[in-house]
Amino acid sequence: MSMAAEPNELRDDVLNGLQLSTQLERVWRTPSGLFGALMSVDHKVVGRRYIVTAFAFLLLGGVLAILMRVQLAGPEKTFLSADKYNQIFTMHGSTMMFLFAVPVMEAFAVYLVPLMVGTRNIAFPRLNAFSYWMFLFGGCFLWISFLFNVGPDVGWFAYVPLSNLQFTPTKRADVWAQMITFTEVAALAVSVEIVVTVFKLRAPGMTLDRIPLFVWAMLVTSFLVMFAMPSIMVASTSLILDRLVNTRFYDPSSGGHPLLWQHLFWFFGHPEVYIIFIPGTGMVSAILATFARRPVIGYPVIILSLIATGFLSFGLWVHHMFVTGLPQLGAGLFTASSMLIAVPSGLQIFCWLATLWDGRPVYRTPLLFVIGFIVIFVLGGLSGVMVASVPIDTQVHDTYFVVAHFHYVLIGGAVFPLLGAVYYWLPKITGRMLSERLGRWNFWLAFVGFNIAFFPMHILGLIGMPRRVYTYTAEMDWAHLNLLSSGGALLFALSFALLLVNVIYSLRKGELAGDNPWSASTLEWATTSPPPPQGFDRIPVVKHRDPLWADGESLPVVAGLSVERREVLLTSLAEAEPQIREASPEPSIWPLLTAVATTVFFIGSIFTPWAVLWGTPPMAVTLIGWFWPTGSKEDEE
Amino acid sequence: MGSHAKVMSVWVRTALVLSATWLLAGCSGRQSALDPQGLQSEQIRQTLFVFLVVATIIWIAVVFVLSMGMLRRKREAAQPLGLHEEFEERSGRVILMLGLATTVVVLGLSVVSYAGQRTVFAKSENALTLKIIGHQWWWEVHYEGDSPDKTFATANEIRIPTGQPVKVELESADVIHSFWVPSLTGKMDLITGQKNELQFTAKKAGVYRGQCAEFCGLQHAHMAFAVIALPPDEFGRWRDHENQSASSPPDQLGRQGEALFRARGCALCHNISGTPAGGQMGPDLTHIGSRTTIAAGTLPNTPATLGAWIADPQHIKPGNLMPQMPLQSGELIAILHYLEQLK
């Protein structure tokens, strides 16, 4: 609108110092009390909750992993029944993929991206709150079902016909499929927020070639989510329809086909791996620059690699289906396309090696995890090249070789960078440092434990052990390597216990971090630790790719945003020129209520199709409440 | 593949011997991709080792460069943005070259892979044809002959002649399974509503264990089978014998067992050729006495294990479709005796 602002509205150019901070904090803070907490739309509050919840699910998934390793430590153990084991491995995979790996990366992005691009809140903050609640409710729904013995037992990719009504007459497969719907909604919401935040909320002067690499990585990831998730949404919804109202999407006797499921699932499932891995690479780039004490070499190469990885990741899903009887030439082409993704991944590795080569590395815990990442991930990538070969895959597909491979790429490629990220960014989030000594122990236990746990699985697969078997006979000669692997798994688990101890210790007695404990270069280190509700008192102006290294103490800022209401600055897409002042939503209880209504609808609809009828009006009501016009001032030039 | 491939295979063999003695001491190799006994599995192992060698070299190189980068003496520098433009330019060129090298390597490996794939999936005309139908959790096996009287069924145990290509046609009666005998060849799925096919040739006589490789429900872990490769003449004799109907029991106890097999409901699910027992739900038992294992490779076939199985199948393999039939101990002994002599 062309109307001028009310003349008496207070802007941040008339206040200074403490006065400004206090005023902004009053406007941006989350209301106090339990009710206030439930209303929060602050990306830092929601991000923190997201991170803690995702790590809670990591803990649960890890406990399941240990249970499996106990069962497999020796031949013909009866620690777990077949039924329990099948539920547990399904729950482990589903929890780790859908409730930990994807959400935890989004969680870090929700917390960090707005700070790294220098704005006050994420785009669509209420959607952000809604996303968190959906994630939380979906995760609880899955785990409560599991505790009531209705946990899914059809594997994390739930192949039909096994997951059809005929072969899984209980609600177990529905629980799995609907949990997917919850996490999809949550993930899609965050992706939209990240894309808009990166495109429209960057600090003035942060041109496309000044965006931090972690933010670039999250931007590419968000696009991957938006293109990949609809595929699994179609797949899981069709599965629920097949089970609930007898549609025949996957029934060969009525013209459906079981392979349709596999195509839809893996068209999502392969990009999914990169949805987890690409944020990891972003964390690596961020940590490496700080601790090698120089900018990462090959900034444009890394960005182009990320984008290339994103595109290529949609062209290789068929390598999960090499033994389903596809035409040979077609399968061979997917071998080549699968292996080609090694090129952008390789380029990134080369850039990081060059950075480390030329830098003056400071070997603190975050950097140790990055080095561990390179060692482990490269091995996992190379075993990935092996499984991409059709003839090799016919032997190793669905064996422990593949189990080893994907734990090398996912734990090596995502969890190690993530642990580095925890050591790196937790001081920003809590204001306190983690113990370096415990950190070193944590790293070495994780590194050694991980390799002892997972390396032997390569060999187990080659000597014939299929995955997802709840037991094996003594004559198979798999006992020793399995025992070794179980021992390694315990060590690996111990490293996480150490992390927990370190975090608790740090929260109570950790050294104060200060604004920029690592002398890092990106904007999140320009504000206090933990950051105030408004993020920054004044929006910084970016003149360099590494603003804190280039401008040091005197970071330039812009002024002119309101201090009486929540306002953010929109900038242009490419050049990040200031365009408009935009109102940012106030705290609201409606996202939570909408999430509750949606949850009731989703859970109800796996029991009766009528839930679609009685489940939608409450959602409509809550959405009307959410979007009810509040008569706030319109945005202005 | 020319002489280059031969040099490679010498390499490969050395690597194999070294790694095998170190890693796999004591491995029997009954179900192992590293101990191939068939034409196809040998080819796959060869491809695997080419990849393994390349991968090992690359991994060592990366870790070496990483270590050197960490160990080398660093110049003093004032601050992070004291850019070394010369280094950036040089490293830019190196990174680009390495990127190109990566492309060349992966394309080369794709060609190696495709060559191996062609060999593994090559089809021959004079193959012995078997039809295998996957069930939760056992394998139904049909031998197809030139004429209907040469066609017979068995379960969970496949005998094949050495040196002759064998074609298995794969189908599923329920969910997706995967047929995998690593010592002979790679796996192939059995998919509901689809017919898949796999060919392999055993080079040496022996017993090769196979196992379902696609998760197929509760007892996926107990869905194994045996492939017994026999010299061609021995296979011929076995086949002729297998083609015959069950012989009628020579003794009183056996005849009693045969009657009980029908009276107690066994015959509703199991077929025994040449007798009125014609059920199609469970494994064919015409020559059960000559098989080496029961319950899809779960237990060795001895009177004790077979008796235990009949007495309480749900205890040994919970969830399988065979119900526990109420039998007097005398009846159990008679049925067991009858089955044992169905050689």
Inspect the interface and report whether the beta carbons of A323 and B48 lie closer than 8 Å. no
Which tokens in the block code for residue A89?
């491995």
Tell me what pLDDT residue B23 has. Answer: 47
Whether the predicted pLDDT of B263 surpasses 80:
yes
Inspect the interface and report whether the beta carbons of A391 and B186 lie closer than 8 Å. yes
pLDDT in tens, A352-373: 999 999 898 999 999 999 999 9
pLDDT in tens, A262-282: 999 999 999 999 999 999 999
Domain ranges of chain A: 17-627
* Residue A625 CA to its chain's centroid (Å): 30
DSSP 8-state code for residue A399: B
pLDDT in tens, A90-136: 999 999 999 999 999 999 999 999 999 999 999 999 999 999 999 99
Which chain B positions have a beta carbon within 8 Å of A258's beta carbon?
176, 191-194
Whether the predicted pLDDT of B115 surpasses 60:
yes
> A405 falls in which pLDDT band (50, 70, 90)?
very high
Q: Which CATH architecture has domain B128-242?
A: Sandwich (2.60)
Q: How far apart are CA A281 and CA A374, in angstroms?
A: 10
Q: Round the average pLDDT of chain A to a whole number and report it.
A: 94
With a pLDDT cut of 70, the percent of chain B lying above it is: 90
Residue A572 CA neighbour count, 13 Å, CB half: 7
Tell me what pLDDT residue B21 has. Answer: 45
Look at strands B177-179 and B188-190 and give their pairing. Answer: antiparallel
Q: Mind telling me how many Å the CA of A92 is from chain B's nearest CA?
A: 15
Q: Which residue has the tokens 């040739």?
A: B201
pLDDT in tens, B56-74: 999 999 999 999 999 887 7
DSSP assignment of A424-436? HHHHHHHSBPPPH
pLDDT in tens, B121-172: 999 988 999 999 999 999 999 998 777 777 899 999 999 999 999 999 999 9
Inspect the interface and report whether the beta carbons of A391 and B106 lie closer than 8 Å. no
- The answer to whether B128-242 and B252-340 have equal CATH topology is yes
| Number of H-type helices and E-type strands within chain A | 21, 4
CATH topology of domain B252-340: Immunoglobulin-like (2.60.40)
Mean pLDDT of B246-272: 91
Residue A3, CA distances (Å) to A276, A634, A635, A636, B228 in order:
46, 9, 9, 7, 88
- Number of other CB atoms surrounding residue A252 within 10 Å: 18
- Are A68 and A88 in contact, with CB atoms under 8 Å apart? yes
Tell me what pLDDT residue B19 has. Answer: 54
Q: Residue A287: name the closest of A473, A119, A430, A420 by CA.
A: A420
- Number of other CB atoms surrounding residue B99 within 10 Å: 18
**Closest-CA residue of chain B to A521:** B80
Tell me what pLDDT residue B9 has. Answer: 55
Sheet holding B128-135, edge to edge: B152-155, B138-143, B128-135, B166-172, B196-200
Mean pLDDT of A548-561: 87
Q: Round the average pLDDT of chain B to a whole number and report it.
A: 88
* Nearest neighbour of B110 by CB, restricted to A258, A335, A393: A335
Lowest model confidence (mean pLDDT) among A9-18, A150-159, A271-280, B43-52: A9-18
Mean pLDDT of B313-332: 90
Tell me what pLDDT residue B248 has. Answer: 86
CA-angle at A140, arms to A135 and A145, nearest 5°? 135
Handedness of CA A177, A182, A186, A188 (dihedral sign): positive
CATH topology of domain A17-627: Cytochrome C Oxidase; Chain A (1.20.210)
Q: Is A142 left (phi over 0), alpha (psi -120 to 50) or beta?
A: alpha
Inspect the interface and report whether the beta carbons of B62 and A353 lie closer than 8 Å. yes
> B22 falls in which pLDDT band (50, 70, 90)?
very low
Put simply, whether A301 touches B (Cβ < 8 Å) is yes
> A179 falls in which pLDDT band (50, 70, 90)?
very high
Q: Which of A90, A162, A210, A518 should one mutate to test binding to chain B, selecting the residue with the greatest count of B CBs within 10 A?
A: A162
Q: How far apart are CA A105 and CA A54, in angstroms?
A: 9
Identify the H or E element spanning B293: strand B293-294
Q: Mind telling me how many Å the CA of B181 is from chain A's nearest CA?
A: 9
Handedness of CA A480, A483, A489, A492 (dihedral sign): negative
Tell me what pLDDT residue A554 has. Answer: 84
Tell me what pLDDT residue B78 has. Answer: 61
pLDDT in tens, B217-246: 999 999 999 999 999 999 999 999 998 888
For chain A, what is the largest distance between any 2 Cα atoms, rounded to a whole number of angstroms? 86
Lowest model confidence (mean pLDDT) among A147-151, A215-219, B167-171, B316-320: B316-320
Lowest model confidence (mean pLDDT) among A224-233, A447-456, B164-173, B295-304: B295-304
Q: Which residue has the tokens 């009731």?
A: A600
> B29 falls in which pLDDT band (50, 70, 90)?
very low
Tell me which of A64 and A18 has the higher pLDDT: A64
DSSP 8-state code for residue A328: H
Whether the predicted pLDDT of B107 surpasses 60:
yes
Q: How far apart are CA A389 and CA A393, in angstroms?
A: 6
Mean pLDDT of A301-322: 95
> A422 falls in which pLDDT band (50, 70, 90)?
very high
Tell me what pLDDT residue A4 has. Answer: 45
With a pLDDT cut of 70, the percent of chain A lying above it is: 98
With a pLDDT cut of 90, the percent of chain A lying above it is: 91
Contacts with B, A 233-262, CB within 8 Å = 252-253, 257-259
Which tokens in the block code for residue B250?
């020579």
DSSP 8-state code for residue B2: -
Tell me what pLDDT residue B16 has. Answer: 52
Q: How far apart are CA A540 and CA A116, in angstroms?
A: 11
Mean pLDDT of A148-164: 94
Inspect the interface and report whether the beta carbons of B219 and A397 lie closer than 8 Å. no
Put simply, whether A553 touches B (Cβ < 8 Å) is no
pLDDT in tens, A37-80: 999 999 999 999 999 999 999 999 999 999 999 999 999 999 99
Tell me what pLDDT residue B237 has. Answer: 93
With a pLDDT cut of 90, the percent of chain B lying above it is: 70
pLDDT in tens, B275-292: 998 899 999 999 999 999
Inspect the interface and report whether the beta carbons of A386 and B217 lie closer than 8 Å. no
Q: How far apart are CA A569 and CA A120, in angstroms?
A: 9
Which chain A positions have a beta carbon within 8 Å of B23's beta carbon?
459
Inspect the interface and report whether the beta carbons of B47 and A81 lie closer than 8 Å. no
> B77 falls in which pLDDT band (50, 70, 90)?
low
Q: Which of B94, B113, B123, B184 should one mutate to test binding to chain A, selecting the residue with the greatest count of A CBs within 10 A?
A: B113
Domain ranges of chain B: 3-68+89-120, 128-242, 252-340
- Are B139 and B178 in contact, with CB atoms under 8 Å apart? no
Put simply, whether A169 touches B (Cβ < 8 Å) is no
Whether the predicted pLDDT of A466 surpasses 90:
yes
Q: Residue A305: name the closest of A270, A265, A277, A332 by CA.
A: A277
Inspect the interface and report whether the beta carbons of B218 and A464 lie closer than 8 Å. no
pLDDT in tens, A423-448: 999 999 999 999 999 999 999 999 99
